[in-house]
Structure 1
Amino acid sequence: MTEQQWDRESVRAIIAGLQDKPGALLPILHGIQDALGYVPPDSVPLIAEGLNLSRAEVHGVVSFYHYFRQTPPGKHTIHLCRAESCKSMGADALETHVKTRLGIDYHETTSDQAFSLEPVYCLGNCACSPSIMVDHDVHGRITPERFDEIIANPGVGA
């Protein structure tokens, strides 16, 4: 079975399981992203058909919410906090370093597929600003040097 067929079957199963729920579009999109890591553009017609919506309506929701990825994520996802506490403690300079070091912007993935970069608007780690989350590990008091250390060995916990 090819990856595209697998994805289609996963998407169809998620749609079938949630389409009768009130306000089903967002739960379906979350379910697809949870299962696949992103919402494939080819899934939009399936979702639209399952919910009796236009493709434009589904695409509009996917593209409006920054949470939904339309491309496969990298092996590791880095969330960089953009909230006030982190910004006041140097997150803007950190953001510049991170984007330069990785060679990508928000919502992009490095060419080697190792890292994706996403903004987040609070990690609940304000006392240790600026903060990032790599996969599910939150790291605080991040300097450019500390960031470089973390991505050199991203599998090590916080």
Structure 2
Amino acid sequence: MREGQARADLASNAGARGGELARQAAAQSGHPAVAAAARAIEAHQGVPGALLPILHAVQHELGCIPAEAVQPIAEALNLSRAEVHGVITFYPHFRQTPPGRHVVEVCRAESCQAMGGEQIAAHARKKLGCDFHATSADGAFSLEPVYCLGLCAQSPAMLVDGVPYARLTPKRFDTILGYVKEAE
């Protein structure tokens, strides 16, 4: 068996060869990120390709994947911290810092761009006072780019906390965010 294949096989079985000890140590930690990692590892033990489900579980629980969660995940899956960090930074869905109370995802795909998406993106950055991959100063909104929401016939579009909005204009953008803030 090739070395790379053997490593992949070990990594796909959460808890394989020493991973159980890493999981137990993580479970006993008092740090919330390490404890969340331990729960995610426990839930996905033996699942082929467990890294992505574990990362999704940690982010679902904490809103992000803190640096403190990387080591126990790496140890449990027999991966290096760099390999786990590489996956976290490769996928734009994963975040390493907590998001704002609301997440605004503005579509950056071609159809939305052709229908005024750049104007919406510029307006969003100005209105929120932050760029993409950042959070407004008041902590209310995180601004993220997203590539195609499947609302091409109703461009430009965005998601706010997972709810789609289409046929955006700067005024409609402001109205939607106003409703979201009022509902807090």
Same fold at TM > 0.5? yes
Which deviations, in whole Å up to 9, do the C-alpha atoms of 1:131-156 show, x marking residues without a partner? 01100211111111111111112168
RMSD of the alignment, in Å? 1.7
Unaligned regions of 5+ residues in structure 1, if any?
A: none
Distance 1:100 1:80 in 2: 13
Instruction: Report the counterpart of residue 78 of structure 2 in structure 1.
Output: 52
The equivalent position to 1:101 in structure 2, one of 102, 120, 127, is 127
Q: After the TM superposition, which parts of structure 1 deviate over 4 Å for at least 4 consecutive aligned residues?
A: none
Alignment of 1:4-153 (within 5 A): 5-153=31-179
Aligned length: 154
- Between 1:147-156 and 1:21-30, the stretch displaced more is 147-156
Q: Deviations over 1:67-104 (max 9, x none)?
A: 10100011100010111111110101111111111111
Rounded Cα–Cα distance in structure 1 between residues aligned with 2:36 and 2:86: 22
Output the CA distance in 1 between the equivalents of 2:65 and 2:58: 6
Distance 1:132-1:37 versus aligned 2 partners, 3 A rule: same
Secondary structure of 1:77's match? strand
TM-score (norm 2): 0.78
Deviation at 1:5, TM superposition (A): 2.9
8 A contact 1:32–1:38 mirrored in 2: yes
Superposed displacement of residue 40, structure 1: 0.9
Once residues 32 and 92 of structure 2 are traced to their aligned partners in structure 1, the CA distance between those partners, rounded to angstroms, is 25
Q: Where does the alignment leave 5 or more consecutive residues of structure 2 unmatched?
A: 1-29
The CA distance in 1 between the partners of 2:36 and 2:82, in whole Å, is 22
TM-score if structure 1 supplies the norm length?
A: 0.91
**Distance in 2 between the 1:156 and 1:121 partners?**
28
Percent of aligned positions that are identical: 51
| CA-CA distance at 1:63 after TM superposition | 0.7
Shift of 1:8: 2.5
> In structure 1, how many angstroms separate the alpha carbons of the residues matched to 2:117 and 2:178?
20
